[in-house]
């Protein structure tokens, strides 16, 4: 698998580009927002140095081939508005986990739906993965809607899976099987 595929994806409102340490100030704008970081699994970035270290860690994971990241760039003003992720890649089973984070100003404007659509396209068409999955805290209704709009189905719920801000949340597990693989499975049955 190559990261170049993810880095050159383009949609109507956004495009992806490679992560760059020089983009840490733009990434810090959303990584330091408590509401944004609440449910994404990243710790809150308290200063630009912490964000820079986080970007460096993501770049190391990408270089090792265990994670694929892309900065999400708003097409009209070329501002970085988020990060798209493909990780926990199982090459034998051909599945991976999808993740995304967006600046709060971009919530509810269709950017998240387009991010998932682009990552899904690269995963199924170019990387030929069989399945994508996502883990979401049940209180993150916006993320659930984004996944469902992109054909992900709720496959399971784990009670009290996440402990966030001194409170438990159920973990929702979503999955999406490649439509090509769905056709093959239907033919065999």
Residue 42 has pLDDT above 90, yes or no: no
Give residue limits of the domains in the chain: 3-188
What's the CATH class of domain 3-188?
alpha beta
The alpha carbon torsion through 21, 27, 80, 9 (nearest 10 deg) reads: 60
pTM (2 d.p.): 0.89
Q: What is the mean pLDDT of the chain?
A: 91
Indicate the pLDDT class of residue 187, thresholds 50, 70 and 90: very low
Residue among 106, 42, 52, 51 at smallest CA distance from 79:
106
Question: pLDDT tens digits for 98-118?
Answer: 999 999 999 999 999 999 999
Question: pLDDT tens digits for 133-176?
Answer: 999 999 999 999 999 999 999 999 999 999 988 999 999 999 99
Asked if 82 and 111 touch (Cβ cutoff 8 Å), the reply is yes
The pLDDT value recorded for residue 7 is 83
For the beta sheet containing 131-137, the strands, ordered from the edge strand earlier in sequence to the opposite edge, are 14-17, 67-74, 80-90, 95-102, 131-137, 167-177, 153-164
d(CA 43, CA 34): 9
Kind of pairing, strands 95-102 and 131-137? parallel
Residue 1 has pLDDT above 60, yes or no: no
For tokens 């081939």, what's the residue? 65
């Amino acid at each position: 698998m190559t990261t170049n595929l993810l880095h050159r994806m383009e949609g109507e409102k956004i495009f992806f580009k490679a992560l760059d340490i020089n983009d840490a100030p733009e990434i810090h704008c959303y990584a330091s927002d408590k509401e944004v970081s609440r449910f994404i699994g990243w710790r809150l970035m308290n200063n630009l140095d912490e964000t820079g270290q986080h970007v460096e860690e993501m770049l190391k994971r990408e270089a090792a081939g265990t994670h694929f990241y892309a900065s999400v760039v708003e097409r009209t003003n070329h501002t970085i508005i988020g990060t798209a992720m493909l990780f926990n890649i199982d090459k034998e089973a051909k599945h991976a986990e999808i993740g995304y984070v967006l600046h709060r100003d971009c919530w509810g404007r269709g950017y998240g739906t387009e991010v998932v659509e682009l990552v899904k396209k690269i995963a199924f068409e170019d990387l030929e993965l069989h399945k994508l999955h996502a883990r979401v805290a049940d209180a993150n209704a916006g993320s659930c809607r984004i996944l469902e709009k992109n054909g992900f189905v709720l496959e399971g719920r784990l009670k009290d899976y996440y402990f966030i801000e001194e409170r438990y949340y159920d973990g929702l597990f979503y999955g999406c099987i490649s439509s090509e693989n769905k056709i093959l499975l239907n033919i065999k049955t």
